């Protein structure tokens, strides 16, 4: 998984960031990249990310739209886009099924698509369920990982002392590598400070503000009874901004994560049995992306005070443009 992700990220940077001074929309770039990472690194599906990304975005735009299926409405274009995705993914599923039934083996055999198609061949799932699972994971990964990465850049730009530490961590790894040599899992494990920065960013700016649960029994909480069957909204802010768990909670201090944090206090990925299924993939995506960007580019924010808006998930209102300049030797 790590070498595959390294190659994809290097390819993305080479194609979209290039080797000249440029202005990049960090949010869009990381969304396109995450999209490709989920499809390729998790499923082993290689479809044209640049074209299909726009189609997935159309579906997302329709998710919160009024359900009016008339030409020109967001809902109607979302439905058309969903049908297009269905067709592209059904083609992929059928190709894989034919290859597997013919006994063909390839480097993607261990990937999720092969596992799902194996279940399809055994009659345990339907073709629609395979496609729905792919779509679900792409959506779950999409806005969350890209928001976490963009906000990390914002935090690092505003805390140059933290950036110096993070950069040193990556330069120490890069110096042991040839230019196109992939990182290993051991290299990724050395990125401890970067993961502290990522966690501190997600503490202050959780990509998912919370979610619903249903009380399965009457619960007493701080003198109130939550009756069985009621919906409960948990939010990450409740504990993330609580000084009982995070002293001086509004300050950006990645080193607070050098020590273990109390269970269920830090919950950007949720917790318990419904913990985010993509936690490890998101972590790898964030760390490897950071490595290649900071070792290969100097960068600065175009709008250091760019506001964040919620719709319903948070995103930087101007797409967080950054100015990049390739470092000497890259």
List residues forming the annotated binding site for heme. Answer: 276
- Please state, in angstroms and rounded to a whole number, the distance separating the CA atoms of residues 270 and 179: 37
Q: Which of 14, 34, 16 is nearest to 25 (CA)?
A: 16
Q: What is the smallest separation between the CB atom of 198 and ligand HEM, expressed in angstroms?
A: 8
- Kindly calculate the radius of gyration of the chain based on its CA atoms and give it in whole angstroms: 21
- Please state, in angstroms and rounded to a whole number, the distance separating the CA atoms of residues 284 and 280: 6
Q: What is the smallest separation between the CB atom of 274 and ligand HEM, expressed in angstroms?
A: 4
Q: Does 153 bind ligand HEM (CB under 6 A)?
A: no
Three-state SS string across 116-142, please?
A: HHHHHHCCCCCHHHHHHHHHHHHHHHH
Tally the residues of the chain. Answer: 330
Query: In which region does residue 244 sit, left (phi positive, over 0), alpha (psi from -120 to 50) or beta (all else)?
Result: alpha
Q: Does 208 bind ligand HEM (CB under 6 A)?
A: yes
Q: Does 269 bind ligand HEM (CB under 6 A)?
A: yes
Q: Does 268 bind ligand HEM (CB under 6 A)?
A: yes
Q: What is the largest CA-CA distance in the chain?
A: 64
Q: What is the smallest separation between the CB atom of 177 and ligand HEM, expressed in angstroms?
A: 26
Nearer to ligand HEM, 155 or 208 (CB): 208
Comparing every residue's Cβ against ligand HEM, the nearest one is 278
Q: Which residue from 228, 274, 318, 327 is in contact with ligand HEM, where contact means CB under 6 A?
A: 274
Q: What is the smallest separation between the CB atom of 240 and ligand HEM, expressed in angstroms?
A: 12
List 326's β-bridge partners, or say none: 297
* Piece in contact with ligand HEM (CB under 6 A), picked from 8-16, 78-86, 118-126, 264-272: 264-272
Nearer to ligand HEM, 125 or 302 (CB): 125
- Please state, in angstroms and rounded to a whole number, the distance separating the CA atoms of residues 77 and 83: 10
Q: Does 278 bind ligand HEM (CB under 6 A)?
A: yes
Burial profile 61-75: b = 16 or more Cβ within 10 angstroms, e = fewer: ebeeeeeeeeeeebb
Cβ 146 vs Cβ 35: under 8 Å = no
- Please state, in angstroms and rounded to a whole number, the distance separating the CA atoms of residues 265 and 233: 16
Cβ contacts of 319 within 8 Å, gap of 6 or more: 25, 26, 27, 28
* Piece in contact with ligand HEM (CB under 6 A), picked from 1-9, 134-142, 174-182, 184-192: 134-142
Q: Which residue from 148, 152, 284, 290 is in contact with ligand HEM, where contact means CB under 6 A?
A: 148
Q: Does 204 bind ligand HEM (CB under 6 A)?
A: no
Q: What is the smallest separation between the CB atom of 103 and ligand HEM, expressed in angstroms?
A: 29
Nearer to ligand HEM, 268 or 319 (CB): 268
Q: What is the smallest separation between the CB atom of 309 and ligand HEM, expressed in angstroms?
A: 18
Cβ contacts of 257 within 8 Å, gap of 6 or more: 195, 196, 199, 200
Q: Does 233 bind ligand HEM (CB under 6 A)?
A: no
Q: Does 87 bind ligand HEM (CB under 6 A)?
A: no
Binding mask 9-48 for ligand HEM (x = CB under 6 A): -----------------------------x---x------
Q: What is the smallest separation between the CB atom of 17 and ligand HEM, expressed in angstroms?
A: 21
Residue with tokens 């202005």: 23
- Footprint of ligand HEM (CB under 6 A): 38, 42, 137, 140-141, 144-145, 148, 207-208, 211, 268-270, 274, 276-278, 281-282
């Amino acid at each position: 998984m790590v070498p595959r992700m390294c190659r994809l990220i290097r390819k993305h940077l080479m194609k979209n960031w290039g080797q000249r001074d440029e202005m990049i929309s960090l949010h869009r770039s990381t969304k396109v990249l995450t999209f490709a990472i989920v499809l390729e690194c998790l499923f082993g599906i290689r479809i044209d990310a640049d074209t299909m990304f726009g189609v997935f975005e159309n579906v997302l735009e329709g998710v919160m739209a009024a359900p009016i299926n008339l030409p020109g409405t967001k809902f109607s274009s979302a439905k058309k886009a969903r049908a297009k995705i269905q067709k592209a993914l059904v083609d992929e599923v059928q190709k894989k099924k034919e290859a597997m039934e013919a006994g063909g083996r390839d480097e993607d055999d261990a990937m999720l698509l092969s596992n799902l198609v194996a279940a399809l061949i055994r009659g345990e799932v339907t073709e629609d369920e395979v496609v729905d699972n792919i779509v679900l994971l792409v959506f779950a990964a999409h806005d969350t990982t890209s928001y976490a990465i963009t906000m990390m850049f914002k935090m690092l730009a505003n805390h140059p002392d933290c950036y110096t530490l993070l950069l040193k961590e990556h330069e120490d790894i890069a110096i042991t590598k040839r230019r196109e040599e992939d990182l290993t899992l051991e290299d990724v494990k050395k990125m401890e400070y970067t993961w502290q920065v990522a966690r501190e960013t997600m503490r202050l700016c959780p990509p998912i503000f919370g979610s619903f649960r249903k009380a399965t029994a009457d619960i007493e909480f701080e003198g109130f009874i939550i009756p069985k069957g009621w919906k409960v909204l948990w939010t990450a802010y409740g504990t993330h901004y609580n000084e009982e768990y995070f002293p001086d909670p509004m300050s950006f201090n990645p080193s607070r994560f050098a020590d273990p944090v109390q269970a269920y206090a830090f919950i950007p990925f949720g917790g318990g049995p419904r913990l985010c299924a993509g936690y490890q993939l998101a972590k790898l995506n964030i760390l490897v992306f950071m490595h290649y960007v900071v070792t290969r580019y100097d960068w600065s924010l175009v709008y250091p005070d760019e506001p964040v808006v919620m719709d319903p998930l948070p995103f930087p209102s101007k797409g967080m443009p950054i100015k990049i300049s390739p470092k000497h030797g890259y």
